[in-house]
Amino acid sequence: MKILVPVDGSESSDKAVRYALSLVKGEEDEILILNAQPLYNGFGLSTNSFARQEQLEQMRALQQKSSKKVLDHSLEILKSAQVTVRTVVRNGDPGY
């Protein structure tokens, strides 16, 4: 069985990780921990193209740092589990 668990660092996502762990029945099961980050379009950044590029890179670095912190926390909850755990980060527009 494969279990997808979206996480955002909240107490609710911690509960979801623990619940997913309770569903695991054997070593063939897999938990996929997903952290979704919004697409950052650069609205409001400098109009200077070099400064704008640097600001976008800084935003991406902050998003990566944030995702790593959230995923590491979820992995800590799962560290003693006898289950395959994968992590993934996706960026996108929620479309609403």
pLDDT for res 73: 96
Backbone angles phi, psi at 81, to 5 degrees: -75, 145
pLDDT for res 90: 92
The stretches in the chain having pLDDT less than 50 are none
3-state SS class at 1: coil
* Cα–Cα dist 75/2, whole Å: 16
2-92 CATH fold: Rossmann fold (3.40.50)
What pTM, to 2 d.p., does this model score? 0.82
Domain coordinates in residue numbering, the chain: 2-92
pLDDT for res 43: 67
3-state SS class at 63: helix
* Cα–Cα dist 77/14, whole Å: 8
pLDDT for res 18: 96
